[in-house]
Amino acid sequence: MSAPLASPLAGVRIVEFEGIGPGPLAARMLADMGAEVTVIARPQQGAVAAQLGGSGDNPLRRGKTVVPLDLKQETARAEVMALIAQADGLIEGNRPGVMERLGLGPADCAQANPRIVYGRMTGWGQDGPLAQTAGHDLNYVALTGMLSLSAHRGERPIIPPTVVGDASGALGLAYGMVCAILEARHSGRGRVVDAAIVDIVAMLGSIAHWIHGNGQLGGDEPSPFHDSPFYDVFRCADGGCVTLGAIEPQFYALLLEKLGLADVDPRKQYDHRAWPALKERLSTLFASQPRAHWEALLEGTDACFAPVLSLQEAALHPHNRARGIYHRSEAGALHAAAAPDSSISSTSTHRGRP
């Protein structure tokens, strides 16, 4: 019997200066993969964290060791520097210049530990005209051009959940940290990872840039993603909603078959002139039955279908339960499991998360 696999980042030490949002999420991603994360927390909870997250369990601290310290005190800064001297990486999310004024900037930390990877999580980045200004997820996504692509023709762009900006930034920082730590182990030299949300969201928008460049998104021509009848959200008789994403011809043909639309020619899928009438027809059709009816008919087929679930419903969905995506804390709060799942070896059929 083979020995169990070690966590991918076992032995990696990270010092996190606790902020809100993307920085703590990036550190939790590393902790979920086995890194030893020590959080330097303010003695008192910040106003924004208290308002948004309350006083209960903080899921962004999962798997971390929390050390409350007042960094205005010299003894606290010395304690932090001792941790940094033994660490592989550091994560902070302050405005540019704040850590330098505390004597904990990249140059200061490199003197104590030349191989430290210094991760900087900001919205605008360490330089540029906006670097010193405040902002949040919605602002960063707006500046990249990505928010404009959410607008249906003539309508306002929708406000996305924080997963678009903050969580994308967290993912980019975690990726950058791991890459730099791998290189530092060979070279013995650390580096600064400037994880600006505007940079990362723009990079993750590369597929959208490609589609936009072909005139299929955000231009004057009708877009499959905004105007077509086969890529949209439809309301059902009971007020629930379902989604369709049948972009490929074979999936679109199956969708028409499942919906009993034998008079619609699947070969004319991209005939823009027919889109408005067919979308109206589909809207009427989906509104004629409750969501459960369409789930029974379409879910589990190649029609590219999924219901719009609440968070509570998502936790109970058979697919999500089979993959162990969600779990509840002892206090009953809903949490997502570590991802991606790296517990499966090439010789094992076991699926699951720790």
How far apart CA 244 and CA 230 sit, in angstroms, is 6
Local structure of residue 68 (DSSP, 8 states)? E
How far apart CA 334 and CA 313 sit, in angstroms, is 11
Q: C-alpha angle with apex 215: 213 to 221, nearest 5 degrees?
A: 160
Q: In what order do the strands lie in the sheet with 64-68?
A: 64-68, 36-41, 13-17, 89-92, 117-122, 192-196
Catalytic, out of 32, 88, 137, 166: 166
Catalytic, out of 136, 212, 226, 293: 136
317 is catalytic: no
DSSP three-state, residue 301: coil
Q: CA-CA distances (angstroms) from residue 268 to 45, 81, 265, 273?
A: 58, 66, 6, 10
Whether cis (ω within 30° of 0) applies to the bond prior to 160 is no
Q: Specify the residue for token string 């074979």.
A: 250
What's the sign of the alpha-carbon dihedral 66, 69, 75, 81?
A: positive
Q: CA-CA distances (angstroms) from residue 1 to 4, 6, 347, 348?
A: 9, 15, 12, 11
How far apart CA 171 and CA 201 sit, in angstroms, is 10
209 is catalytic: no
Contacts of 257 (CB under 8 A, 6+ apart): none
What would the DSSP string read from start to end of 75-111?
Answer: HHHHHHHHHHHT-SEEEE-PPTTHHHHTT-SHHHHHH
What's the sign of the alpha-carbon dihedral 338, 167, 156, 151?
A: negative
Q: Is-contact 244 234, C-beta < 8 A?
A: yes
Of 144, 190, 197, 142, which Cα lies nearest the Cα of 169? Answer: 197
Active site residues: 136, 166
